[in-house]
Amino acid sequence: MKAAYIHIPFCEHICYYCDFNKVFLKGQPVDEYIDALLKEMRLQLEMTPVNQLETIFVGGGTPTVLNETQLDRLCNGVRAILPFHNGEFTFEANPGDLSEEKLRILHEYGVNRLSFGVQSFNNELLKKIGRTHTSDDVFETLTKAKKAGFENISIDLMYALPGQTEDDYRSSLRTALELNLPHYSSYSLIVEPKTVFYNLMRKGKLHLPSEDAEARMYEILMTEMEKHGLHQYEISNFAKPGFESKHNLVYWNNEEYFGFGAGAHSYVEQVRRSNSGPVKKYLTRLEKGELPIFDQHKLTKQEMMEEEMFLGLRKNEGVSLVRFKEKYNENVLNVFGNAISEMVERKLLEVTDNRIQLTKEGRFIGNEVFQAFLM
């Protein structure tokens, strides 16, 4: 076990594209939730003891909507309960949410990586997608974060947003790269059910760029990142050497991790598990001294091998033939020979002596490639 994900489901506003498990902050039992979260950690570690975690990632929702006292209590509890020493400790944050005092608290408890949901530097576009921060908020927050001692900072950008042009995306990308940060994530909008954008799309009121325009934006992304010395190590992620997200690599390497909090997902002892999503249900289960498990599934060997492929192929380095053999005692070319041959023929995959990886063309339609490995 290498990693733990901690979910804070509270937000001061709901973005129009977001389908993560979240609720409006006002009127929520936030203090009780933090107590329950720490209790879940203790219960889980009693069941599955581990010696050391290498990464912790606190996501949401918006973890930094917690007030200073709540943030202190959460971080203090995490450090007291989880066996974590000097690894990667990430907090997600919204620009404008972090006061100097909150930054001080995070730094004091060993948080050493911040991930900001910027999405765009076009203020009009930010309003269109339901964001409440401005580009100035981004610059001010990054200045405060660096002053507080944070160097490992990542920002997210989105493309293929409603009404977004290629020039607009290129402009946001240029502004982001001028910040000279060590890590960037950029991904296209996916319209998910139960979101504001989904409802608008059903009414014919959501005007998105064409698939060709989306592909050109992705091409712009890869070209600009390479120009600025940022290595593409996963379909949507770029970093200076040594600043790759160690936590996300746990997922893409198909390794096990804890997931704590309402709606959080875990992969523990070959079991994929999800927690109850509604905050009240989550709290009720823990009040009874029970783990808040909503659903769980023990993976078969075949399912594990399939996941190894469609998760591992997200990385630019792809899937190691040697590692696959060590994990499953199977030759990947025997297990998935037909799918691999088809994708190689279509120039979407390439196979070397040591690994299988997406070609540049394959990165544009990665999901189609991944589907080929689901039996």
Which pLDDT belongs to residue 284?
Answer: 97
Which pLDDT belongs to residue 174?
Answer: 97
pLDDT higher at 310 or 191:
310
Q: In the chain, which residues fall in CATH 3.20.20.70? A: 3-252
CA distance 83 to 95: 30
257 backbone φψ class: left, alpha, beta (φ>0; ψ -120 to 50): beta
At residue 320 the predicted structure's pLDDT band, cuts being 50, 70 and 90, is: very high
Please say if the pLDDT value at position 200 is more than 90: no
Residues 84-132: tens digit of each pLDDT: 998 999 999 999 889 999 999 999 999 999 999 999 999 999 999 988 8
Which pLDDT belongs to residue 196?
Answer: 84
Residues 38-81: tens digit of each pLDDT: 999 999 999 999 999 999 999 998 999 999 999 999 999 999 99
Q: In the chain, which residues fall in CATH 1.10.10.920? A: 301-371
H runs (alpha helix) in the chain: 30-47, 68-81, 100-108, 123-128, 135-147, 166-178, 196-202, 211-227, 246-252, 279-287, 301-312, 321-328, 332-335, 337-345, 360-364, 366-371
CA distance 214 to 310: 22
- Number of neighbouring beta carbons within 10 Å of residue 361: 12
Which pLDDT belongs to residue 1?
Answer: 73
At residue 11 the predicted structure's pLDDT band, cuts being 50, 70 and 90, is: confident
Which pLDDT belongs to residue 12?
Answer: 84
User: Which structure tokens are listed for 7?
Assistant: 């979910």
Domain 3-252 class, CATH top level? alpha beta
Which pLDDT belongs to residue 13?
Answer: 78
Residues 230-257: tens digit of each pLDDT: 999 999 999 999 999 999 999 999 999 9
Angle value at C-alpha 349, between 345 and 353, nearest 5 degrees: 105
Please say if the pLDDT value at position 375 is more than 80: no
DSSP labels for 234-277?
ETTEEESTT-S-HHHHHHHTT--EEEESTT-EEEETTEEEEE--
Contact 56, 115 (CB under 8 A): no
At residue 15 the predicted structure's pLDDT band, cuts being 50, 70 and 90, is: confident
Which position has the token pair 């390794």? 255
At residue 20 the predicted structure's pLDDT band, cuts being 50, 70 and 90, is: confident
Contact 257, 266 (CB under 8 A): yes
Q: Shortest CA distance to 1 belongs to which of 305, 239, 260, 237?
A: 260
At residue 195 the predicted structure's pLDDT band, cuts being 50, 70 and 90, is: confident
Instruction: Give me the mean pLDDT over the 308-323 stretch.
Output: 97
Which pLDDT belongs to residue 18?
Answer: 78
Please say if the pLDDT value at position 353 is more than 90: no
Instruction: Give me the mean pLDDT over the 168-172 stretch.
Output: 97
Residues 209-221: tens digit of each pLDDT: 999 999 999 999 9
Contact 293, 280 (CB under 8 A): no
The strand pairing partners of 13, in sequence order, are none
Looking at every residue in the chain, the average pLDDT score rounds to 95
Q: Which residues contact 125 (CB under 8 A, 6 or more apart)?
A: 161, 163, 164, 168
Residues 147-167: tens digit of each pLDDT: 999 999 999 999 999 999 999
Type of residue numbered 156: D
Type of residue numbered 272: R
Q: Which long-range CB contacts under 8 A does 275-279 form with residues at least 24 apart? A: 277/21, 279/9, 279/23, 279/28, 279/29, 279/33
Q: Which residues contact 288 (CB under 8 A, 6 or more apart)?
A: none
CATH second-level architecture of 301-371?
Orthogonal Bundle (1.10)
